Amino acid sequence: FPMAATDPQVLALAAQITESREQDIPPLLLKLKGILSSPSLGCEESNKIKQDMYDYGLTQYCLLVLKRDHSQLHGAWATAAQLAEILSHCCVGLEVKEDPEEFYKKFLPSAIDTLLVLGKRLQARFTRAIKDKEKQDFLHWFRIVTDAICWLFGGHIQLAACVLQNDRFLQLLITDDVETAIIMMSVLHNILRINSSVLLQVEEETLHSVLDELVYKLSSTTNPAVGSAATKLLLFVAKFCKQLVQLLTARYKGLKGLLSKQWTGKGFDREVNQLLDLLYLEQSSGKGEMQKQHQAACIIQAAWRGFQTRKRLKKLPQAVITLQRSFRAKREQELQHLTKQKEDEALKLQMQLQRQRAMRLFHQRQLALLEVVHASQVNKYMQEMEEKSALTIQRFWRGYRARRIFHQQKQSLKEYKAAIIIQRAACKFLEKRRRRRPLSPWKEPKGLTDEQRLALQQKVDDYIKLHPASQMSEEMSKELHMQAQAKLAQFLLRSRLDQRAAQRREALLAQVNTDVELLMNAPGLAETTEKDLGAFMSRSIPVATKARQTHNTMLKYTRWPWWKKLGDEFMEDDVIPDGAINTELETLFIGGRK
């Protein structure tokens, strides 16, 4: 931060912005407008405040906020337009003494580019807007941004060429909308008024693009406002430089007729007549020179056309042969394509017929087998056929997948085999080379000197001192032994109890399985004998009592009169209310549980 006296409002705003969140910064930056427009400020004080704003980074904050996307927040476009105006006022009249190259070569061009991008977004929103209120708002904000651009390059003349050479300026100028087109032509008029030589400083392509758009607006619209603005710009360009008048005369042949026929009597005849006078004057002065150039061009063209004709006649037989060859090759290719297409269609039809025939035979074979197979074995037969079909499909799919993987890995297998052969040859070569090399005589390892031995012994002693061995007394050993014996006894007792519980579970499972088999193999009621009834009678008195009570309840329910069953119209026949069956359940004891 600068050491000189700083405006307290700027200092407080900078501190507040530093401590605020990112979404709260744009409304805070709008306070700069009130600071700059204070009536008590003089010229020197205003420049001093602008310098403080730049030193404290408030101007850079404005530029960063303008680079954001304002389409997601409510009221962000109005804030962006006001920040654009504040940014232009902060930069005009500011003279940076420390690192001026950063300000003039980087910051100002970046500000111009950002404002043009903002103007392009506002122009697009204005074009897509449907409601009149939205269109008026976007047009108002667009005009504020363009005024900020004009104010900025008006304070820094070198930015006029930067604006004109920017692609987004041409995009803004090339529009069919009347309101924004008039505003952009007024911006171009301000550029030419501030720096009239800027058209000679820009590239030729940029100059041609600007002039093409102005002439296009004259030829494509009948709006007097657009025509007047374009005519005044062309007149300003023609008055400035004779070179540009020559360019207009040579590049746009029908411009004079367009001006005299379409734009005469539209309310700006004075400008139209002045432009026509300049164009006709240039045409009359350059008519003799143009005639000489025309005659020379005719001679050159005649000689060139004669040379080209003679050259073409020499190459004509070869060209005819080449054309015939290419035609025959193309016709042969088309015939091959048609033949292949017919063969593919015939093969597809044949495959479809074979598939239909196979399906028909398969269904006939199935029907014949179903007539032979017993009814009780149909489901089993169908399941076997499905399993066989699934196995066949899986076998074909695995074969196809294996063949595909093999073809994919064929090259890698070749490379792997080649690598094995190369490695084998290299190993054989190294083995032969190793056998030819004479063996080196045996060298005894060097022993340790006395000094090395003493140093090693010292290291061992130091390690033993740092890591002494743990020692345990006899009482601790006995106590540890008793704890291990107690835990072992607990483990053995627990394992024995777990083993008994597992045996009990297995016995219960066996009993359940036996009961299930008895129930599955039970005969019908008509075939039941006393022996069969004995197999299903429970040996538990509570269970038998519960079964008897349930049976009596079901009999009572079946003998109820119709008026007691009025609420059971939608119940199934074999469903009995739980309240009627579960009577006196709390008084039964089954298996030791209530």
What's the pLDDT tens digit per position in 432-488? 988 887 656 656 666 778 888 899 899 988 988 888 766 677 888 888 889 999 999
Share of the chain above pLDDT 70, in %: 86
Q: Hey, what are 457's tokens?
A: 């012994």
**Residue 1's pLDDT is what?**
39
For the chain, give every domain's residue range.
8-202, 377-428, 540-587
Q: Hey, what are 492's tokens?
A: 């053995």
C-beta separation of 267 from 228 below 8 A: yes
Q: Is 24 left (phi over 0), alpha (psi -120 to 50) or beta?
A: alpha
What's the pLDDT tens digit per position in 37-80? 775 566 777 778 778 778 777 888 788 888 877 776 667 888 88
C-beta separation of 118 from 71 below 8 A: no
Q: What is the mean pLDDT of residues 133-137?
A: 88
Share of the chain above pLDDT 90, in %: 13
Nearest to 91 by CA among 121, 122, 46: 46
pLDDT of 505 above 50:
yes
Backbone angles phi, psi at 590, to 5 degrees: -120, 120
Task: Report yes or no on whether pTM surpasses 0.85.
Answer: no
For 5-9, 30-34, 267-271, 486-490, which range has the lowest pLDDT when averaged over its residues? 5-9
**DSSP string for residues in 274-296:** HHHHHHHHHHHHTHHHHHHHHHH
Return the CATH number of 8-202, one of 1.25.10, 1.10.155, 1.25.40, 3.60.70.
1.25.10
Q: Is 592 left (phi over 0), alpha (psi -120 to 50) or beta?
A: left
Residue 87's CB is within 10 A of a number of other CB atoms, namely: 26
Residues in contact with 10: Cβ distance below 8 Å, sequence separation at least 6, in sequence order: 35, 49, 52, 53, 56, 58
Q: What is the mean pLDDT of residues 350-355?
A: 92
What's the pLDDT tens digit per position in 88-126? 888 887 777 777 788 888 888 888 888 888 888 888 888
pLDDT of 489 above 70:
yes
Residue predicted with more confidence, 503 or 578: 503
**Residue 438's pLDDT is what?**
66
Q: Which long-range contacts (CB under 8 A, 24 or more apart) does 570-575 make?
A: none
Rounded distance between C-alpha atoms, residue 498 and residue 366, angstroms: 56
From residue 168, how far is each of 72, 312, 475 by CA, in Å?
Answer: 23, 47, 94
pLDDT of 32 above 80:
no
